[in-house]
Structure 1
Amino acid sequence: MTSDSPGISVVLPARDEGDRVGATVASALGASTAPDDIEIVVVDDCSSPGGRPQVAAGTDRHRVRIVRSDRHLGVGATRNLAARHARGRVLFVTDAHTRFSDGWDREVRRLIAPQRILSVTIRDQTSTWRGHGCRLVIPHMGTHWNRDLPGPTPHVHVASSAGTVIERALFARLGGYDEGMVHYSGFEPEFSVRAWRSGAEIVHTTDIEITHRFKPKEEVTALLGAARTAIVHNCLRFGTAHLPESMILEMVRLHALEFPDHIREALVMLEERGAWRRREELAASLRYDFAWFVRRFGLLDQIDRPIPET
Structure 2
Amino acid sequence: MTLQRSDGWALPGNRWDLLADFEPDSPPSISVIVAHYEQPSQLARTLRALDRQRHPAELLEIIVVDDGSREPPQVPGHVHLIRQDDLGFRLAAARNRGAAAARNDVLVFLDADTAPEPDYLRRLSRLPALTWDAVTVGRRRHADLTPLDPAADVELEGPRHLLPHPAWLADAYGASGDLLRVDSRSYRYVIGAVIACTQRFFAETGGFDESFTRYGGEDWEWAYRAWLNGAVLAHVPDAVAWHDGPDSAGRGDSLAGKNDEAIRLAELIPVPSSRGRGLPSTRADIAVTVPTGDLSAGQRFITLDSMLAAVPGAAVVEADGGFASETRAATDGDAGAAERLDPARLDPARLDRVRFDRVRLDVIVERAVRVEPGSLDDALAAIDGDAFSEVIIRATDGEMLIRVASRRARSRLDRWGGDARLPTLDLTAAGIQRLSEEPDVEAYLGGW
The question of a shared fold, defined as TM-score above 0.5 by the shorter chain, is answered with yes
- More displaced stretch, 120-129 vs 168-177: 120-129
The within-5 A match list for 1:227-246 is 232-243=259-270
Structure 2 partner of 1:180: 211
Q: Which runs of 4+ in 1 moved over 6 A?
A: 268-272, 275-279, 290-294
User: CA separation in 2, counterparts of 1:39 and 1:120?
Assistant: 19
Distance 1:20 1:293 in 2: 45
2:384 to 283, 290, 295: 295
1:31 maps to amino acid = Q
Aligned to 1:145: 169
Counterpart position of 1:262: none
Q: Distance in 1 between matches of 2:330 and 2:384?
A: 31
| 2:162 is the alignment partner of 1:127 | yes
Helix, strand or coil: the match of 1:196?
A: helix
Query: Structure 1's 74 and 286: CA in aligned 2 closer, same or farther, altered over 3 A?
Result: same
Residue 222 (structure 2) aligns with: 191
Q: Taking structure 1 as reference, are residues 146 and 280 closer, same or farther at Cα in structure 2, changes over 3 Å only? A: farther
Q: Structure 1: how far apart are the matches of 2:110 and 2:384? A: 30
Which residue matches 2:104?
Answer: 88
2:84 to 69, 74, 97: 69
Distance in 2 (alpha carbons) for counterparts of 1:205 and 1:69: 32
In structure 2, the partner of 1:274 is 340
Q: Tell me the amino acid that sits aligned with residue 295 of structure 1.
A: D
Instruction: Report whether the alignment pairs 1:21 with 2:21.
Output: no
Task: Show structure 1 runs of 5+ residues with no match.
Answer: 1-5, 56-60, 133-143, 254-267, 299-310
Deviations 1:144-166 (A, max 9, x none): 52346435742162311220011
Q: 1:65 to 1:154 in 2, by over 3 A?
A: same
Report the AA paired with residue 267 of structure 2. Answer: T
Q: Could you say which residue in structure 1 is the equivalent of 2:70?
A: 48
What is the CA-CA distance between 1:86 and the residue it aligns to?
1.2
Provide, for residues 9-38 of structure 1, a one-character-per-residue CA deviation record: whole Å limited to 9, x for no partner. Answer: 111211111232122111012133322211
Counterpart check, 1:203 vs 2:206: no
Could you say if the C-alpha distance between residues 161 and 152 of structure 1 is closer, same or farther in structure 2, counting changes exceeding 3 Å? closer
1:28-69, CA deviations, whole angstroms, 9 ceiling, x for partnerless residues? 1213332221111111111123xx4222xxxxx233111111
Which amino acid in the other structure matches residue 274 of structure 1? R
**2:94 counterpart of 1:78:** yes
Query: Per the alignment, do residues 294 and 43 of structure 1 end up closer, same or farther by CA in structure 2, a change over 3 Å counting?
Result: farther
Q: Could you tell me how far 1:195 is from its partner in structure 2? A: 1.1
Q: Normalized against structure 2, the TM-score is what?
A: 0.49
Distance 1:234 1:166 in 2: 24
Partner of 2:315: none
Alpha-carbon distance between aligned partners in 2 of 1:249 and 1:105, rounded to the nearest angstrom: 38
Residue type at the aligned position of 1:65:
H
AA matched with 2:162: S
Note the C-alpha offset of 1:281: 4.5
> Relative CO higher for 1 or 2, CA cutoff 8 Å, sep ≥ 6?
1
Root-mean-square deviation (CA), in Å? 3.9
Higher Cα radius of gyration:
2
**What percent of counterpart residues are identical?**
21
Q: Which has the higher helix share?
A: 1
Measured at CA, do residues 280 and 210 of structure 1 come closer, stay the same or move farther in structure 2, by a change above 3 Å?
A: farther
Aligned residue type for 1:181: F
Determine the structure 2 residue equivalent to 1:261. none
SS at match of 1:42: strand
Residue identity matched to 2:43: V
Q: What is the CA deviation profile of residues 188-209 of structure 1, one whole-angstrom value per residue up to 9, with x for unaligned ones?
A: 1111111111111210111210
Number of aligned residue pairs: give it: 257
Q: Work out whether 1:102 is the aligned partner of 2:118.
A: yes
1:110 shift after superposition = 2.5
- C-alpha change, 1:279 and 1:75, in structure 2 (3 Å) is farther
Q: Does 1:8 pair with 2:30?
A: yes
Q: Which moved more, 1:107-116 or 1:166-175?
A: 107-116
Q: Which amino acid aligns with 1:28?
A: L
Measure, in 2, the Cα distance between the counterparts of 1:293 and 1:76: 34
SS in 1 for 2:111: coil
CA deviations over 1:190-247 (Å, ceiling 9, x no partner) = 1111111111121011121011112599x946x759xx56x64443232112225998
1:40 maps to a residue whose letter is I
TM-score by length of 1: 0.69
